[in-house]
Amino acid sequence: MAADDLNRTEPYLDVLIVGGGLVGLGLAAALGSAGLHVAVIDRERPATVLEPVFDGRTSAIAQGSRRILEGIGVWPKAAPDAEPILDIRVSEGASLLFIHFDHREVANVRGAEPLGHIVENRAIRKALFDRIAELDTVWLLAPMTVTKLVRGPGRIEATLADGRTLAARLAISAEGRNSRLRGEAGIPVSTWTYKTSALVATVAHEHPHNGVAQERFLPPGPFAVLPMTDDALGTHRSSIVWTDRPEVIAHLVALDGEAFNRELAQRFGDYLGETAAFGQRWSYPLSLLHADSYIAERLALAGDAAHAIHPMAGQGLNLGIRDVAALAEVLVDAHRLGLDIGHGSVLERFQSWRRFDNVTLAAVTDGLDRLFSNAFPPLRAVRDAALAGAGMIPPLRRFFMNHSMGNIGELPRLAKGEPL
């Protein structure tokens, strides 16, 4: 709805979400779909974040995350731009050993569903904007900032940059790694900066990828090839995530197109024929972050404001989407029972539910990075044994697939395909 409607018809909100990224908008869509009154505050104009130059990343949307997005009415709008992941191949350098994950091996009552989908972040954002525009109880105020947030008994009050004051039962920070509200609440964080950066680019290639994603572990860091939809001209495309030392990534970003394509051909290989990157190249420093607490008085953290992990295996956004489903479930259940949705007992259920999943995956991705980025010969033997074992033992392979698909653990209703 329009921002003017907020003053005219709804001076008191259930939830105020600060941060209108993928997690913040997703949470607004989930809560708005259940009838809660929500305002989202974001410093960027919607038109700006939908520009191709704003964000060149793609995201791997796991099977469970897709069900969540379906349940809140977002996935049908993003599906035309989503490429199914049918197979994943994980390998190490020049080793002949690899793991092959085939989606047909984990068929369920619905049949052989894709392991996940690759979608451009820009397409997900557009789908989220389109969805919340349909919801009468969701207001998006952007560009806008919160200049002051007061959290007290029974309510929070936020003063906006334009002078307005909004009141709500609960504030949610979806501001990302540098969350201001987390800092103001005095919540400590544990951080680790990796000695690597990631280059992201879109690559055109001669042959179709057939829905196969590649994750190749190399001493400088993983090199991932993620299948994308063909463009309007029928060009076969994949997204690459190239991890290396920051100075190497900076050099690669600065190369002209011809020089970069020569470097790309050496790293990419010829299994998809001739390759050429097109469009802009982006680089991102890599780090790990975990908040000591996801909650404070009348405040909850979601997505990267609570946890940020190494991008290998593409699980970062999936953790955020699972935060959305779990937080929406506990808030909606409390609201239906007439309880105070900002009460500490309600928020504690969200924290205890999500902490184990987030900490576990952060530890796993960090451990894999340390294991595979080390050229020490004894570790090479351990890596080869791990690849051989995971690849040759079907139950272990299926466990890894189901975990990456978001189908293991205490799942929110939305992740199981059930209504919120």
Edge-to-edge order in the sheet of strand 98-102: 98-102, 87-92, 212-217, 223-227, 236-244, 189-205, 275-291, 307-308
Token pair belonging to 197:
């950066």
Residues spanned by the domain of 171: 3-79+118-191+289-373+406-416
Q: Is residue 162 part of a domain?
A: yes
Q: Is residue 197 part of a domain?
A: no
Q: Is residue 180 part of a domain?
A: yes
pTM beyond 0.95: no
**pLDDT of 311:** 84
**Cβ–Cβ < 8 Å for 224, 58:** no
**pLDDT of 236:** 98
Separation CA 244–CA 289 (nearest Å): 20
Separation CA 49–CA 287 (nearest Å): 23
**How many domains is the chain partitioned into structurally?**
1
**pLDDT of 2:** 46
Q: What is the CA radius of gyration of the chain?
A: 22
Tell me, what amino acid is at 220?
Answer: P
Q: Is residue 336 part of a domain?
A: yes
Separation CA 86–CA 102 (nearest Å): 6
**Cβ–Cβ < 8 Å for 284, 196:** no
- CATH number of the domain residue 123 falls in: 3.50.50.60
Q: Is residue 297 part of a domain?
A: yes
Residue keyed to tokens 């035309």: 80
Going residue by residue through the chain, which has 420 residues, state the pLDDT in tens, using 9 for 90 and above: 444 455 433 447 999 999 999 999 999 999 999 999 999 999 999 999 999 889 889 999 999 999 999 999 999 999 999 999 999 888 876 665 677 788 887 766 566 789 999 999 999 999 999 999 999 999 999 999 999 999 999 999 999 999 999 999 999 999 999 999 999 999 999 999 999 999 999 999 999 999 999 988 888 888 999 999 999 999 999 999 999 999 999 999 999 999 999 999 999 999 999 999 988 999 999 999 999 999 999 999 999 999 999 887 678 899 999 999 999 999 999 999 999 999 999 999 999 999 998 898 888 787 777 666 656 555 555 555 555 555 555 565 666 667 677 777 889 999 999 999
Q: Is residue 399 part of a domain?
A: no
Q: Is residue 25 part of a domain?
A: yes
**Cβ–Cβ < 8 Å for 279, 56:** yes
**pLDDT of 383:** 58
Q: Is residue 67 part of a domain?
A: yes
Tell me the residue length of the chain.
Answer: 420
